[in-house]
């Protein structure tokens, strides 16, 4: 892009001729150069929004490499199609799956997915919330046992090869320039990590590491299921899940109810 406006206008005419039809020259600038300034400012705003939406990925690359390797190719393939720039990076996970092929592909794809989830969680809606812990106790709220229950739209579940959430917290303690001159903090890897990302009632988006089995049961509510169906599904799983669920199911539902991770339409 090199800060230059496209020489061809959307009409197919040259930008020099098209700009002359709508913009008068200034004492020092031709019409096409005047509109080029606004084009540059908008482009810089898009890049700035990408930096804000993906702060970890920006720190991993640095501003210049992030713009060249991630933001510019992404925006060329998927230009903004929504009036709000809050949605600008919504297709970056898709672009990364399609286009990013470097050796650190696994880490970068996970980082992009996590960072977009932070954005999405902040703006997502919320379903009705109820006391699902009481519904799991025999004889109480029997009608709720049969009602379809879903993960809240602001809740995101992750099974990752890297402990990206702790790593991200450490990286965000310093600015982009700092990490251009210093080693990254250590990051746990070489096993599967399970996390829940969610929005608290005060609007803050936070995360929590959970067990693999709690993750498996929560994941079962992604497409919606009743509590009765969930219990029946549990009975069909391996001994490891059944054993942990027997000991912790009431604690899980207590926590999930407290954090408002589940809801109904």
pLDDT digits (tens, 9 = 90+) for 110-127: 999 999 999 999 999 999
Residues in CB range of 234: below 8 A, 6 or more apart: 217, 241, 242, 245
Q: What digits encode the pLDDT tens for the residues 84-103?
A: 889 999 999 999 999 999 99
Q: What's residue 1's pLDDT? A: 45
- Report yes or no: 23 and 31 within 8 Å, Cβ to Cβ: yes
> Would you say the pTM of this structure is higher than 0.85?
no
Asked whether residue 140 carries a pLDDT value surpassing 70, the answer given is no
Q: How far is CA 228 from CA 115, 235, 252, in A?
A: 34, 11, 16
Which pLDDT tens digit goes with each residue over 37-46? 666 677 888 9
Is there a contact between 236 and 154 (Cβ–Cβ < 8 Å)? Answer: no
State the DSSP string of 159-218: EEEE-HHHHHHHHTTS-HHHHTTSPPPP--EEEEEEEEEEE-TTS-EEEEE--HHHHHHH
Contact (Cβ atoms closer than 8 angstroms) between residue 96 and residue 109: yes
CA–CA distances in Å: residue 157 to residues 74, 191, 193, 207, 215: 25, 16, 11, 10, 7
Q: How is 224-247 classified by DSSP, letter by letter?
A: -EEHHHHHHHHHTS-HHHHHHHHH
Query: What's the pLDDT at 167?
Result: 97
**Percent of the chain at pLDDT above 90?**
63
pLDDT at res. 131? 73
Give the mean model confidence (pLDDT) for residues 247-260.
90
| Span 3-13, average pLDDT | 75
pLDDT in tens, 159-187: 999 999 999 999 999 999 999 999 999 99
Looking at the DSSP bridge assignments, the partners of residue 44 are: none
- C-alpha distances in angstroms, 146 versus 132, 142, 174, 230? 12, 7, 49, 10
Q: Is the pLDDT of residue 19 over 80?
A: no
254 half-sphere exposure, CB direction, 13 A CA radius: 5
| Angle ∠(185,191,193) on CA atoms, nearest 5 | 80
**Are residues 218 and 256 in contact, defined by beta-carbon separation less than 8 angstroms?**
yes
d(CA 170, CA 154): 23
């Amino acid at each position: 892009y090199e800060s230059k406006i496209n020489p061809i206008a959307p009409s197919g005419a040259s930008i020099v001729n098209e700009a002359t039809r709508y913009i008068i020259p200034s004492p020092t600038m031709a019409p096409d150069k005047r509109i080029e300034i606004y084009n540059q400012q908008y482009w810089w705003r898009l890049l700035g929004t990408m930096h804000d939406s993906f702060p970890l990925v920006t720190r991993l690359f640095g501003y210049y490499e992030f713009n060249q390797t991630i933001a510019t190719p992404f925006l060329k393939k998927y230009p903004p199609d929504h009036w709000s720039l809050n949605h600008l990076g919504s297709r970056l996970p898709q672009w990364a799956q399609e286009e990013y092929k470097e050796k650190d592909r696994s880490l970068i794809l996970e980082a992009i997915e996590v960072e977009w989830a932070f954005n999405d969680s902040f703006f997502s809606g919320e379903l009705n919330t109820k006391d699902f812990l009481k519904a799991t106790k025999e004889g109480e709220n029997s009608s709720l046992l049969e009602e379809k229950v879903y993960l809240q739209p602001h809740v995101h579940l992750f099974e990752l090869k890297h402990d990206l959430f702790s790593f991200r917290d450490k990286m965000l303690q310093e600015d982009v320039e700092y990490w251009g001159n210093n080693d990254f903090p250590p990051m746990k890897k070489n096993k599967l990590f399970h996390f829940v990302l969610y929005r608290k009632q005060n609007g803050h988006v936070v995360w929590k590491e959970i067990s693999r089995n709690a993750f498996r049961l929560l994941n079962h509510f992604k497409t919606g299921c009743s509590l009765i169906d969930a219990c029946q599904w549990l009975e069909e799983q391996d001994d490891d899940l059944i054993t942990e669920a027997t000991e912790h199911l009431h604690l899980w539902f207590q926590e999930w109810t407290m954090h408002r991770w589940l809801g109904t339409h």
